[in-house]
Structure 1
Amino acid sequence: MGILRLPVMVEDGSWVLANIFIDEGSDSTLMRSAFAKALRLRGPPQFLTVDGAVGVITRYRSKRIQFRVQAADEKFLSLEGSTMKKVASPTPVTDWHKEKAQWSHLASLPLGETGGGVDILVGLDHAHLIAVIQSRVGAEKEPIASKTAFGWIVRGFVEGRIGCISPENKRALEIVQEKTKRLEVGYEVPIIWREGEPNLDSNRQMAENRFRSQLSRFRRQPEFEKDYRAAVEKYLDQGYASHVPDPASARYFLAHHGVYKGKKLRVVYDAAAAFKGKCLNDAIISGPALQPSLAAVITRFREGEIAWASDIEAMFNRFRLSSEDLRCILEDAGVPENVIQAVKERMYIDDYLGSASSVAEVVEEAVAVKNALSSSDLNLQGWISNSSDFLRAVSRTEPATDPASSHPLTGEGTERVLGIVWDPKADLLGFKVDKMLDSAFSRADLVIKVASVFDQLGTASPFIVKAKIRLRVLGLKGLGWTDLIAGDDEIWWRNWFLSLEQLNTLKMPRCLFPDRVKISMVELHAFGDASEEA
C-alpha cells in the first residue's frame, strides 16, 4: 500500500497527523468526512458521483474542500478534494523505521510508521504530487520505495507479517477474545463498539414512522401480517428475543421488515437505517474477515467423489460467530486438530460442506463436527449428499427430519449450496436463472439483472463479460441511470437475456477428480488474453 503519515493543517492553523493513501487508480482526491469536520474545513456542498463495479453509479452528499499538507521535507503542499464518508479500507500498520534495517536499499531512507484508518486518498487529479521522482528497488519479493513530493513511500510486505491487521480490527479481535463467555448452553458474545460508542441519538421517531408503514402493509396484506406475527412469535418462543420491560425508557430502536425466501418469511433487521446521519452499523467495528474465501470452499466441495452439505439451524438468531470463534468452540470440545482444520477450510459462515474420496473418510469427521457444535447449541441440520450411505451414517446420530421441509428445492431434484445449484442424485452442478425480459429496461435495471447471475467460480464469465462490456458502452454513450434503452441497444439486450436462459440447460460434473486413485499426476494450466474491451 502506498501510504504515509503526514501533518495536515487545521482551520485555526494548528496541525494534526493524517494517514494519506496514494492511489494512482483513482482520478479524484477524497477526504474522510469526519476528518474534514475535525479539521473544521468548509466548502460548497455538492453531489459526488462514484462509478463502481459492473457500472453501478452511486451519488453521495459531499463538500468541495481545500487543505494543506506538510510534506516529509517540510514543504507545504496545497490540495483540493471532496469529502466522503469512507475513502478506503484500513491498511496494516508497519513501523518502517524499525523494519527498514532488513534491506540495504531502504536502510538510509527517512521512514516512519504507516498504516491504520485512511483519512485522505490522493488521486490522479494531483498527478504532479504523486509522480515518482526516485526509486529504490531491492531483490525479488523485497519492498520497494518511491520518492514523491509527499516523501518516500514503501510498498511491499514484511516477511511473516502477511496476516497483520489494522489497529481497529486488532481491537475487535481482542474484545471478542476477552468478552466471549461460555454459558451453560451456548455462548455469549459482545457487541464490538468503536471507541466512544455507543453514542446514538434516540431514533424513536423514525422507528414509529417505520412501524406505521408496517401496519399499513398489514392492512393491505393479511397473509403477510399472519406470517410476520408467526415469525416474531417463534423468536419469542425459542428465546431469540424478549419483550422490553419498559419501552418508554428505550433510546435506540432497530427497525425491521419482512422478506420472503420462497414461501418462508424472514424478519430482516435494518442496522443500516440512518437517523441524523448515523446508523447502528457506524458505531460497530465489523472486524476482519476470518472465514475462508467462498471460491476456496466451493472448490474443495468439488474435489472428492463423496460430497455433503449442511447448515447450522438459526445460527444468526442465537449469536454471531466468526470462523475463528468456531475453531475455539471445537478446541473447547476436545476435537482433534484435523477436524478443527477441516472446519476452518470447509465452513463458510453457517454452511458446512466438503467432499472426500470415500464415505469412511468423512463420516467420522462430519459426526465429530456435528457433535462438537451441538454441545455449544449450534445444530447442524438438513444434511444433503450424493451418497445415501453417508446420509444413513449421519442420520443415525440425529432425529429423523422431513427432507422436503429442510430443502424447498428437493421437489426439483436440486439444492442450492452457497448459491451453487447442485443435483445430488446426478451429482451435477448447474445454474438457475429466472426470466428477465421486461417491457422496458433502464440502465439501472440492466446492472441489477446482470449482477444477479451468481457465478462464483467464473464458469459463465465468457458470457457475462459481454454484458458488462455493453453496460460500459451505455455509460460512454451518456445514457442516464434511469434512462430507458432503445433501438439497437434494446435489441441486443433482449437477445442477450434470451440467451442467458440457456444457462439453465448447462450441466457439469461436480467432482473434479473422479477415480482419484487412478490419477498419477495433476497439472494446472492457466490461459490469459488481454482485451481492450473487457
Structure 2
Amino acid sequence: MPDTNAPTNTAYHTYPELRRRSSNLPSTIASDDRSGDILVQMLNNSHLQQQSLVETLQLPKTELMSLDGEPVKYWMFIRSFENIVDKETIGDGAKLARLMQYCTGPARKLMQCCAVKEPSEGYRLARKLLQSRFGNAYDISDAWINKIVGRPAVSDNKGLLEFSDELRNCRETLQTMGKLGELNNRQSLAKIIEKLPFDLRKGWLKRVHHLKYIEMRLPTIDDVLVFVSVAAERANDPVFGHYGRDCERATVCTVPGCGLKHTKFLHLLRSGNSTCTDTGNNPSTSLSAEAPPFVNTSPGTSGNVTCNITGAGVGKVVLPIVPVKVRGKGSTDFITTYALLDTGSTQTFCAEALARELGIHGRRDTVKLTTLDDHNTLVDTFVVDLEVTDVNDENLLVMSNVMTRPNICVNSDCLVTQEEISSWPHLWDIVLPDVNPNDVLLIIGQDNPSAMTPKEVRKGNFGTPYATKTILGWTLNGPVKSGPRNKVTSHFIDADVCLQRQVEKFWLMEDLGGCDTSMSVSDRKAIAVWEHSIHLENGHYAVDIPFKTRPPCLPDNKAMAQHRLRLLGRKLTRDPVMKDKYTSSIKELMDKGYAEEVPSEQLERADGAIWYLPHHPVFHPHKPDKLRIVFDCAAKFQGISLNDTVHRGPDLINKLVGVLLRFRLERVAFMADIEGMFHQEVVNKPDRDVLRFLWWSNDSISSSPKVYRMTAHLFGGVWSPSCANFALKQTAQDNIHKYDTETVRTVDKNFYVDDCLKSVATSDEAIRLIDQLCSMLVLGGFKLRKWISNSREVLQTIPPSERTKTVLSLDLDRELLPTERALGVLWDVESDVFTFDVHVSSKPMTRRGLLSIVSSVYDPLGFASPFILTAKMLFQELCRRKIGWDDSIPDEIARQWERWLADLPQLKSLSIPRCIKPRGFGTSTTVQLHHFCDASERGYGAVTYLRLQDVDERVSSCLLMAKAKLAPLKKTTIPRLELAAGVVSVKLDEMIRRELLLPLQESVFWSDSMIVLHYLRNEDKRYQTFVANRISRILELSKASQWRYVDSMSNPADDVSRGLTAQELIGSERWVQGPQFLLCDESHWPRQPDFDTHVSPGVLEVKRDPVIYSTCTSKEEQDALSKLFGHFSSGIDCGKRSLGYFVQRQFSFTGLGKEIQFQSHLSHSR
C-alpha cells in the first residue's frame, strides 16, 4: 500500500526540500532547463521576504510619543513620526489621521481645521502649522535652556545623572538646529554650573583654570558636558559611587548614641554625650578631606557636642550685611559703612545721617511704606543718587532714586560673629567683619538687582546658614544658633510713590510756569560739546553725544540686550502683524542710512566704549497703525544706563501753550511736521558704538542676531530732544541772511519739537513762507511733510504726496476739510474751530480710575476747565476722605461721577474759534488783555479774553485762555482764595504777554471781591503774612490802577470757581466771548465803587500792633506751685489746665506709697 503520509503534490514541498531535489537532478536536465534556475532564485527571494516579514511581525509594537505643545518635544516627535509613519506608503489622509492621533492639547486644536481639507492639502497644512507654532528654533532653544537652568539644583547622585542626560539632550538638539550659540555663552554656562553641588563647582573652577591658562582657551558647553557626565558616572558607580546612608553594608558608627553609617573619626570627642544627625540629601555636604572637621558648640545644645551637620534651629538668624564704600553721585570722597541686602524691599534706602555726612540733599518726595501686616504709612523723604562700591574698589554701582529715612533699624541679634561662622565646615574659609548695628546705614533693595546677584553660593545641610558672594562681597544668611527667639525681624518694604509721577503729570498743565530759567552747569557743558563738534556731513548736521566723561565708562551689557531681544522675539512671534511692522521699521532704518551693520573687524574696541541698546515698539494712542521703534537708553546694567552717562542738555523746546497761542493770531493757518526729526542729526563716528543694537539676520527670528549701530541720534536718548532742537535752530542761524526775517522767526518761535504751527494774514503770505521754510530746512537735512491748511489755495500749491493723509486724495473743490490734531488739540480745519472728542475706555470705579479718565481730557488752554473742575472736585473729595487708590469710591460720589461721565461726550459740541479775529476784521488799533478772577469754597481761577478794536472801531472779544484750580484741603477764607485767584490772573498776564508777541496795551484785571481791591489800593496797613505775600506778588506784576470791580453776574471767572455741566458750558455765550460790556466803549464798563466805604474793617487781616503792659510786683516768698502758675502768661486758664495735669499724674505718685497733697493759693487781682 502506498504511504499515506507521503506528500501527494510537489506544490506542498518545503523550499529546502525542493532545493535539495533540484540539486540532485542530472546536469543535462539542469543545463537544458534554465527556467529551473530562475524558479529557484525566485523561491529564494520569496523566502527571504517571508522571513523578514515574520521577524518584523515578531517585534514589539512601535509606540510613537505624543506632542502636547511643549517645544522641547517637537523635534523628537517629528523625527519619530517621519521615521515610523511618514516614510510608509500610506496615503496623505492616513498620515493626517495618524498625526492628529498622536497630537494632544494645543497641538491637536491647532490642526482641527486641516481635517476639512483635501487629504494632501490638509496634511501639508498640518505639518506647516506644527512647524510654525512649535518648531520655531528660537522657542525650542529657549525652552531647552529654561529647562536646564530653571530646574532645581542637583541634590543626589540620581539627580546628577538625570541632569547629565538632560544637558546632553539639550546640547544635541541645539546643535542640530544651529542654535548652540544660545547655550555656549558665559551667562548660560554659569547658570548650568550653579545647578551642581558645591564640591563639583569647586572642581569646575580647577577645570576652568586649566582651560584658560594651560590650553589657552575659554570653556564651552562641550567642556561642561564632559565634566558633568564624568562626575555623574563616578557618582553612580555601582561599587564606589554611593553615599553612606545608602550603603547596604550593616557597619555603623561605633560612637555611643550615634548608630549612623559613617566612620567614627567624624566625631571629635568632648566631655559629655555626643550626638549626630543625618546629612540629609544634599551632596554638597558630603565628607571631604579638604574641609577640616568642626563641631557646633552653640549654647542651644545644653552641653551636648553636636556634629556640624545638624540644623541650627531658630535661635539666631543673621541677615546679609556687607561692608561698602558710598559717595554722592559725581563726588570723589567715599565713606565706609555697611549695607543690608534686603530682597524683601522694592526700594533702596539710606539713613539721613549718611546723606548729611555725604553732603547731599536731593529732592523732597512722599512715599507710602507698606509693611508685613499690610499697614500703609505715608512718610516724607528725600530722593538722592549714590555710588556704591565694594571695599576693594573693584565694582561700582550707581544707585538712583535712593530714599532717605531717619534711621536704619537692624537688630543686634541678626549680626554674626567670626566665631559663629567658623563653626560651620562649609564656611571655614569665609571671613566677615564684626558689625555694629548702628553702622548699618544703607538698605539695598530689589531696585538694584546687580547688588543681589549671587556669584557664588556656599550651602550646607538643610537648615544651616549659607554664604553668598556678590559683587560687593560675601554675606551670610540663615540660622546660626538654635533655641527660642523672642525677637523677630522682618524686612519687607514696598515703597509706593503714591502715583506721584502720574499726579504730577496731571497737574503739569495747571502750572503756568515762570520766566525762562537759566542753564545749569550740565546744560552749558552739553551746549559746549555741540558747538565744538557740529558740522555739516552729507547735508546733515553731525554732533557728538554729550558724554559726562569721554570715553564713557560702560560695562559689557550685551547679555542684557540679548535677553531683551529674546523677549521681543516672543512678542513678535505671537503677533505677526506687529512683526511685519517692526521688520519694516528696522529695514527703513537701514535703507535710509540711520543704522548700519558693525563690520566684524570693529566688533571690539580698545577703550571699551561699547553699549548695546534694547529696543521695543511704541504705538501712538491716536495712531494705532503707526509703530515707532524706541531704543531704551534708560535700561540699566550693573546699575548704569546710557542716559546716566550723558548730559541731558537745556530745554530748547518752545512752550506748548505759547505755540498754540501764536497759532491763533491770523486767519490763514497751516501745520506740518519734520520727518524723522531725531534721525536727521548724524552721530560722529567715534560715538556710534554706544548706540549698538541686535537684530536677527535676514529678519528671521530663528536666526542668530547680528550687531548693528545707529549712525543718527535716536528716540529714547535723554539728550536727543535738546540735540535735535539745537540743530534745527542752528539751521536758521546759519542761513539767516538768505531768507526773510519771518521765516527765521517761524523756525525759532513756531515749532514744538518736530511740529510746525503757523498762522498768517493771507494765503499769499502762507505760500511764500512755506516755500522758504522748505528750502531753508532742507539745508540742515530737515524735510517738512504732512501739510494741512484751512486755505484750499495754500493746499493746492503743495504736492499731494507731501500733504497729510486725510487730504491726500481729497477733492479740494467739493469735499470738506478734515479734523486734525494741533499739538493734541482737535482742530476742525473746515470750520476753523477747536473742539473736543473724548473717547474714554472703561475704568474701575476707584480713585486711580477717576484720575486716569480726568487726566485723559486734554485741554492745555483751559477751554473746558469749568467742566473738568467738577471732576477735580470729586477727586479732591476722595483725597479728603483718604480713599485708597484702588478702593471702591463711596456711593454718593460714585453717582456724581457717573453723571459726569455721562455728560462727557457732550463736550464735542463745544467749539472755540481758532483765530482771535472775526472774519472781515480790519487792522487792530487796540489790543487788550482782560483777566477775570473769582473764588469759592471749592475752587478758584482766572479766565483771559483778548479785546480787539480795529480802524473802523469795531470791537471783538474772544476767550484766550483759562485756569481753574482747587481750593486747598485745609479750609481757607474766601478773601484769601480771592487773592490766590488774583495771583493766577497776573501769572496768566505775564505768560501770555511773553508768548503772544502782539503790541499789547495795558492789561485790565477784574474781580468781584471788594476786599481784594481794598487790599491792593491800601498803602498804610500791614497785613498778615499770607495776605501780604500775595498782595506783593500781584503788585509785582501789575499796578493797583489796573484792577477794577465787576459784579458777580457779569464775571465769567465764576464758572472756573464753581464748575459747570457740559450743557451749561456749551450754552454759555459769556464763557466764549466774555461779558457784554467788553464789546462796548470803556465809558460803558462797570462803575467803580468806593472801596473804603464798602469794606468792613473787621474782615481785613490787619496785623495788630503789639501792646505792652507794665506790672509792679512786690517781693514775696512763694511756694513752688505758685511760681509755676505765675510762669503762664495766660493767667488762670493755663493754671487750671496745669492743675488738671498734675491731678491726673497723682496716680503715678501714689504707686510709690506717697500721697501728694496739693495746696495752692491762687490770687487773681481784678
Same fold (TM over 0.5): yes
Alpha-carbon spacing, 1:408–1:164, altered in 2? closer, same or farther (3 Å): farther
Assess, with a 3 A threshold, how the Cα gap between structure 1 residues 278 and 405 changes in structure 2: closer, same or farther.
Answer: farther
CA separation of 1:336 and 1:213: change in aligned 2, threshold 3 A: same
AA aligned to 1:437 is: S
In the TM superposition, residue 354 of structure 1 has moved relative to its aligned partner by 0.9
What code does the residue aligned with 1:348 have?
A: Y
Shift of 1:369: 1.4
**Alignment correspondent of 1:258:** 617
Q: How does 1:100-499 map to 2 (within 5 A)?
A: 164-195=518-549, 198-246=552-600, 249=604, 251-260=610-619, 261-319=623-681, 320=720, 321-333=723-735, 334-393=738-797, 395=798, 400-401=801-802, 403-404=804-805, 413-438=818-843, 440-485=844-889, 487-499=891-903
Which residue of 2 is the match for residue 146 of structure 1? none
1: CA distance, partners of 2:749 / 2:660:
10
Instruction: Determine helix, strand or coil for the equivalent of 2:932.
Output: coil
Task: Give yes or no for the alignment of 1:62 onto 2:403.
Answer: yes
Name the CA shift for 1:435/1:411 in 2 (closer, same or farther; >3 Å).
Answer: farther
Q: 1:405 offset after TM fit, Å? A: 6.6
Q: d(CA) in 1 for partners of 2:597 and 2:871?
A: 49
What's the Cα RMSD here?
3.9
| Structure 1 residue identity aligned to 2:525 | R
Aligned equivalents of 2:673 and 2:785: distance in 1?
6
C-alpha distance in 2, partners of 1:302/1:480?
A: 42
Deviations 1:256-304 (A, max 9, x none): 1112332122212222223333322222221111222111111111110
Tell me, in whole angstroms, the C-alpha distance in 1 between the residues paired with 2:551 and 2:880.
44
**Could you tell me how far apart the structure 1 residues matched to 2:653 and 2:636 are?**
28
Cα 1:452–1:274 shift into 2, 3 Å: farther
Cα distance between partner residues in 2 of 1:531 and 1:23:
31
What is the CA deviation profile of residues 222-271 of structure 1, one whole-angstrom value per residue up to 9, with x for unaligned ones? 11111111111111111111123349759522111112332122212222
1:314–1:24: structure 2 CA closer, same or farther, 3 Å change rule? closer
SS of 2:902's equivalent in the other structure is helix
By percentage of residues, which structure has more helix?
Answer: 2
Which 5+ residue runs of structure 1 have no aligned equivalent? 1-8, 41-58, 68-80, 85-156
Shift in CA distance, 230/184, structure 1 to aligned 2, threshold 3 Å: closer
How far 1:516 sits from its partner (Å)? 3.9
Specify the code of the residue in structure 2 equivalent to 1:255: P
Q: Which residue of structure 2 lines up, in the alignment, with residue 126 of structure 1?
A: none
Distance 1:473 1:270, change over 3 A: farther
Q: Distance in 1 between matches of 2:364 and 2:842?
A: 40
Whether 2:933 is the aligned partner of 1:528: answer yes
Preserved CA contact (<8 Å) 1:30 1:83:
no
Give the drift of 1:408: 12
CA–CA distance in 2 between the matches of 1:82 and 1:528? 50
Question: Percent of aligned positions with the same letter in both sequences?
Answer: 30
Aligned CA distance change for structure 1 residues 237 and 164 (closer, same or farther; 3 Å):
same
Alignment-derived partner of residue 53 in structure 1: none
CA contact (8 A) 1:427 1:510 kept: yes
Q: 1:529 deviation in Å?
A: 2.4
C-alpha contact 2:667 2:762 (8 A) present in aligned 1:
yes
Change (3 A) 1:236 1:481: same
State whether residues 429 and 508 of structure 1, in contact with CA within 8 Å, keep that contact through their aligned partners in structure 2.
yes
Instruction: Name the CA shift for 1:494/1:61 in 2 (closer, same or farther; >3 Å).
Output: farther
User: What code does the residue aligned with 2:728 have?
Assistant: L
Q: 1: CA distance between counterparts of 2:670 and 2:803?
A: 17
Task: Provide the rounded CA distance (Å) in 2 between the counterparts of 1:446 and 1:273.
Answer: 31
Seen in structure 2, the aligned counterparts of structure 1 residues 83 and 363 have a Cα distance that, compared at 3 Å, is farther
Higher strand share: 1
- Mapping of 1:67-82 within 5 angstroms? none
Offset, 1:411: 9.4
Say whether the 8 Å CA contact 1:182–1:188 is kept in structure 2. Answer: yes
Separation in structure 2 between the aligned mates of residue 513 and residue 480 of structure 1, nearest angstrom = 48
Cα distance, 1:509 vs. partner? 1.3
Letter in 2 for 1:425: E
Deviations 1:18-75 (A, max 9, x none): 586999999946262328x69x9xxxxxxxxxxxxxxxxxx965242579xxxxxxxx
Q: Aligned partner of 1:434: which letter?
A: H
Task: Give the structure-1-normalised TM-score.
Answer: 0.68
Alpha-carbon separation, structure 2, partners of 1:507 and 1:162: 32
The amino acid across from 2:826 in the alignment is V
For the 8 Å contact 1:271–1:280, the answer to whether it is kept is yes
- One-letter amino acid matched to 1:192: P
CA 1:283/1:23 → structure 2, altered by over 3 Å: closer, same or farther? closer
Q: Counterpart amino acid of 2:635?
A: A
Match of 2:904 among 494, 497, 500: 500
TM-superposed CA distance for 1:390, in Å, is 1.8
1:196-233 deviation line (CA, Å, top 9, x unaligned): 66233333333222222211122221111111111111
Counterpart-to-counterpart distance in 2, 1:408 and 1:450:
36
Q: How big is the shift at 1:526?
A: 0.9
**Whole-Å Cα distance in 1 between the matches of residues 550 and 893 of structure 2?**
52
Go from structure 1 to structure 2 and tell me whether the alpha carbon gap of 1:221 and 1:400 turns closer, same or farther (over 3 Å shift).
closer
TM-score (norm 2): 0.33
One-letter code aligned to 2:665: E
The more displaced of 185-194 and 360-369 is 360-369
The 3-state SS of whatever aligns with 1:172 is helix
Question: Residues 422, 220 of structure 1: CA spacing in aligned structure 2 closer, same or farther, 3 A cutoff?
Answer: same
Residue identity matched to 1:34? L
Q: Which moved more, 1:14-23 or 1:183-192?
A: 14-23
Q: Secondary structure at the match of 1:355?
A: strand
Aligned residue number for residue 6 of structure 2: none
Question: For 1:369 and 1:493, how far apart are their aligned partners in 2?
Answer: 48
**More moved, 239-248 vs 403-412:** 403-412
**Paired residues, what number?**
415
CA distance in 2, matches of 1:483, 1:276: 37
Q: 1:421 to 1:495 in 2, by over 3 A?
A: same
Q: Secondary structure at the match of 2:617?
A: strand
